[in-house]
Amino acid sequence: MTYLLRRLAVFPLVMLGVSVFVFVAIRLVPGDAITAMLGTEAGMLTPAQREALTAYFGLDQNWAVQYGRWLAGLFRGDLGISVTYGQPVLDLILERFPLTLQLALMSMVIALLIGLPAGVFAAVHANRASDLIVRILAMVGQSMPNFVVALLAIFILSVGFGVLPTMGSYVHFTEDPLGNLAQMILPAFALGTAFAAAVTRITRAAMLDILSEDYVRTARSQGFSERYVIWRHALPNALIPVLTLSGVEFGYLLGGAVIVEQIFALPGLGRVVLDAILERDYALVQGVILFIAFNFMLVNLLVDLAYAALDPRIRYGNQS
């Protein structure tokens, strides 16, 4: 419990650090919202026009004042207004996040459903032809970028079969579950395959280690069935590296899978932040990055807590 509290106490500090970093970084990038919006036409503005726009975008203040205002807003739960969308940043995040969360969860489920059994299978059949095949497939899966998988899927479906998931008119799961799944399954698959390949390889390696451990041999000698030994004794311990990998990967996915969202025209968090950076929409970049950092920390915390649940030898509270 003290461990949990200690970890939670670190959250605000990290967030503050991230916020300062992002605040400065985005402002160090040349170009501002005005040139980003007007392009070469920005050269057509008269000085008075430019002044009016600068004031409108809040760029007339110095950085410290801008940051102070933003931070004060943050404590009131106000992340500022996005200049490109004309909406509160928080609303935009809450609007886009469910899609990203759903996509991350679906890819994770796909990855684990494929990766865990494949890894266990390969470890049990180690160094046989079937193991080799699984390992080659995993290698291919991991080295093929997910946007290639995405584009291939689109092309095979559109050219070969003349069908395509509905793109560009995203529906929420609550409005139309089937329509939503039809849109999400391909992107989730594209993201999940590379992830599944990684899970396969990690599971295989961890299982191989554990299958040679003493307690597994003891379990075998006690006459438990092979299946029982593998799934009940060995796998839970092999899950720890898988969990670490999944935690990190899930954290990344919650930041949005920019290219896949782009290809499948999904309005997720990744695309929002990419557009926001290109348009120098400072408030939106700051808000989304902070939110992503928060998610990352939360996922990491959950992973650490899950270790303890999986392996009784790990007990954080007793340390120090």
Partner 1 sequence: MTTFKTTALALLTTAMVTPLSAQTLDLAWSQDATGLDPHTQPGFATIRLLELMYEPLVRLDANLELQPAVAESWAFSDDGLQLTFQLDPDAMFHDGTPVTSADVAASFTRILDEETGAIARANYTSIIEIQTPDDHTVTFVLDGADAPILNGMASVNAAVVPASAIEAGTIATEVVGSGPFTLESRTPNASANLVAFDGWHGGDVAYDNIAISVLPDETALLAALRAGQADFALINDPLVATLIPQSPGLSLNTAPTLSYYVLQLNAAREPMDSLPLRQAISCAIDRQDILDAALLGEGEVTGPLTSPAYRTDPSGLFCYEQDQDRARELLAEAGYADGFTATVMAATGEPPTASSVAQVIQSQLAEVGIELEIEMQELSVYIDRWLAADFDMAVALNGGRVDPYTMYNRYWTRDGNLQGVANYIDDTLDSLMNEGRTETDPARRSEIFAEFEGHLADMSPWVWLFTGNTYTAQVEGVSGFEASPTGSLFGLVDVTLAE
| Residues found near partner 1 in the complex (CB under 8 A) | 29-32, 35-46, 48-49, 52-53, 56, 84-86, 151, 154-155, 157-159, 162-164, 166-170, 262-265, 267, 271-272, 275, 278-280
Residue 35 or 244 having the CB closest to partner 1: 35
**Encoded tokens for 218:** 């003891």
From the CB of residue 50, how many other CB atoms can be counted at a distance below 10 Å?
Answer: 13
Residue 28 or 129 having the CB closest to partner 1: 28
CB of 173 to partner 1, least distance (A): 16
Residue 52 or 113 having the CB closest to partner 1: 52
- Distance between CA atoms of residues 106 and 93, nearest Å: 20
Dihedral in degrees, nearest 10, Cα atoms 59, 62, 63, 66: -60
CB of 178 to partner 1, least distance (A): 17
Q: In the 8-state DSSP scheme, what is residue 312?
A: T
Do residues 115 and 207 make contact, with C-beta atoms less than 8 angstroms apart? no
Residues facing residue 88 across a β-bridge:
81
Residue 119 or 287 having the CB closest to partner 1: 287
CB of 60 to partner 1, least distance (A): 14
From the CB of residue 128, how many other CB atoms can be counted at a distance below 10 Å?
Answer: 10
Residue 169 or 212 having the CB closest to partner 1: 169
CB of 268 to partner 1, least distance (A): 10
Residue corresponding to tokens 């307690």 = 215
**Encoded tokens for 42:** 């920005």
Do residues 162 and 168 make contact, with C-beta atoms less than 8 angstroms apart? no
CB of 56 to partner 1, least distance (A): 8
CB of 179 to partner 1, least distance (A): 13
Residue 27 or 125 having the CB closest to partner 1: 27
In angstroms, how far is CA 254 from the centroid of its own chain?
3
